[in-house]
Structure 1
Amino acid sequence: MLMAMKIQSGLPPIVLLALLPSFFSSLPSAQDFDFFYFVQQWPGSYCDTKKSCCYPTTGKPAADFGIHGLWPNYNSGDYPSSCDPDSLYDSYQIEDLVGSMQEEWPTLACPSSDGNKFWEHEWEKHGTCSESVLDQHSYFHSALQLKNKINLLQILKGAGIEPDGGFYKVSSIKDAIKEATGFTPWIECNVDEARNSQLYQVYLCVDPSASRLIECPIFPKGAKCHREIEFPAF
């Protein structure tokens, strides 16, 4: 790179060295991103599959949407991942949040755990890519605050959409969430053992400060839903 600059510019090496800091500061950072996906997951759909689920060691979670993650993304549809291998998950940094995280951000993966492995994965894969804005504590705290602001179950129940094993139009689910939040969600489905398409995850987009909802610049690619989908009990 330096040789190329020397050849193209004809500047002496000492001048080129002086220019390097400003040159590299103008390059895109690996931790730059445009927005977050804030993703909430319905536990009944996670468990109602061939793979099934395991309750956390702290007990069965409440029958409510739980946080899956707060994921930095680019407007292009790509996303950064595992940006800082030196920034390891440290449970001591979030001691004051653990009680809330066990309630609002539980893991249903097998084998049963207390959640720390799940949160470690979320921080090291996704959270480290937002460190220019949020430190570890702020990252998890911001996700909890968003969850408190966006009560999906209450929103859907208010529109007559209940987790009762019934089938509902995807358009009705989207309309209910948009009417309540002001922003268009993206709905991800999975399938149960009978191959019924069911409400699995809801994505909403958040600004880079993780403080306010925005319209999604782009929707993710994922499992498409049928026109009508099941909302299973949990």
Structure 2
Amino acid sequence: MNMKPNFSLLSKLIVLQCLSVLCCSQDFDFFYFVQQWPGAFCDTKHGCCYPKTGKPTADFGIHGLWPNYKDGSWPSNCDPDSVFDKSQIAELMSSMEKHWPSLSCPSSNGLRFWSHEWQKHGTCSESELDQRDYFDSALKLKQKANLLNILHNAGIKADDGFYSLESIKEAIKNGVGFTPGIECNVDAKHKSQLYQVYLCADTSGSDFIECPILPTSRCGSQVQFPKF
């Protein structure tokens, strides 16, 4: 007896397979490259824990390289099968420890932090960057945007002083060439302090661009730049 192929079933299987591929290689419009000031991370009621390698240098550290859409939304956890593999970044490890430290408690070697960043954000950029290139791109963007030097040259120093939000934005725009987004948090006394700086990069993670959309600022007009 001749069996006729079930084209309906085949069509469904093909569609499901295509959807699976799309989920794992989701497109996006740009990256947020986010750096955070350790003094502000630690200077809250929650406190912080230094990495097992010791207290980081007083410099902005990388928080992440996050794929985003122009409408303000973002993809996340795009490929649950793509797990973080520290062997892929073995040659980057010393730079990662210096420029991408974890200050979360308990004290760690950074691997948990980096694994989270890869699985939540990095997997959504696999159509552009593999695991090594993802972390390497963030490190190279950090070199291009030395925020501490830029702010210091503008007379804005991590000395517990207060500076106008607009002067911070202007200094970074003049130094990097593009408008930053500024995120603040509050210390134990509820003072607004400089916490994170958002810059935007193209989908290759190579060059900064003007941000299609910036995160909403919750900063006061005067912002403290806490010591670390």
Deviations 1:154-180 (A, max 9, x none): 000000000000000000000001011
1:52 maps to what in 2? 47
2:175 maps to what in 1? 180
Residue 13 to residue 192, structure 1, CA distance change in 2 (3 Å): closer
Aligned-residue offset at 1:219: 1.2
Residue 226 to residue 137, structure 1, CA distance change in 2 (3 Å): same
Query: What runs of 5+ residues in structure 2 fail to find an aligned partner?
Result: 1-6
2:115 maps to what in 1? 120
Work out the number of aligned pairs and report it. 220
Please state if 1:219 is matched with 2:214.
yes
Which SS does the other structure have where 2:96 is aligned?
Answer: helix
2:156 maps to what in 1? 161
1:143 maps to what in 2? 138
1:131 maps to what in 2? 126
Deviations 1:196-229 (A, max 9, x none): 00000000000000000111111124x6000001
Aligned-residue offset at 1:20: 6.2
Deviations 1:7-53 (A, max 9, x none): xxxxx969x79x969x979x787611000000000000000000000
1:3 maps to what in 2? none
Residue 138 to residue 30, structure 1, CA distance change in 2 (3 Å): closer
Aligned-residue offset at 1:181: 1.2
Alpha-carbon RMSD across the aligned residues, in angstroms, is 2.2
Q: Distance in 2 between matches of 1:24 and 1:52?
A: 43
Using structure 1 for the length normalisation, give the TM-score. Answer: 0.88
1:8 maps to what in 2? none
Residues 81 and 125, structure 1, Cα contact 8 Å, conserved in 2: yes
Which SS does the other structure have where 2:103 is aligned?
Answer: coil
1:228 maps to what in 2? 222
Q: Distance in 2 between matches of 1:28 and 1:45?
A: 36
Aligned-residue offset at 1:128: 0.3
The residue identity in structure 2 corresponding to 1:78 is: S
Query: What runs of 5+ residues in structure 1 fail to find an aligned partner?
Result: 1-11
Q: Distance in 2 between matches of 1:74 and 1:122?
A: 18
Which SS does the other structure have where 1:89 is aligned?
Answer: coil
1:5 maps to what in 2? none
2:186 maps to what in 1? 191
Residue 24 to residue 55, structure 1, CA distance change in 2 (3 Å): closer
Please state if 1:110 is matched with 2:113.
no
The residue identity in structure 1 corresponding to 2:89 is: I
Residue 24 to residue 128, structure 1, CA distance change in 2 (3 Å): closer
Return structure 1 stretches of 4+ with deviation > 3 angstroms: 27-30
Residues 32 and 200, structure 2, Cα contact 8 Å, conserved in 1: yes
Which SS does the other structure have where 2:203 is aligned?
Answer: coil
Q: Distance in 1 between matches of 2:15 and 2:135?
A: 36
Which SS does the other structure have where 2:45 is aligned?
Answer: coil
Q: Distance in 2 between matches of 1:183 and 1:155?
A: 13
The residue identity in structure 2 corresponding to 1:220 is: P
Q: Distance in 2 between matches of 1:155 and 1:79?
A: 29
Residues 30 and 80, structure 1, Cα contact 8 Å, conserved in 2: no
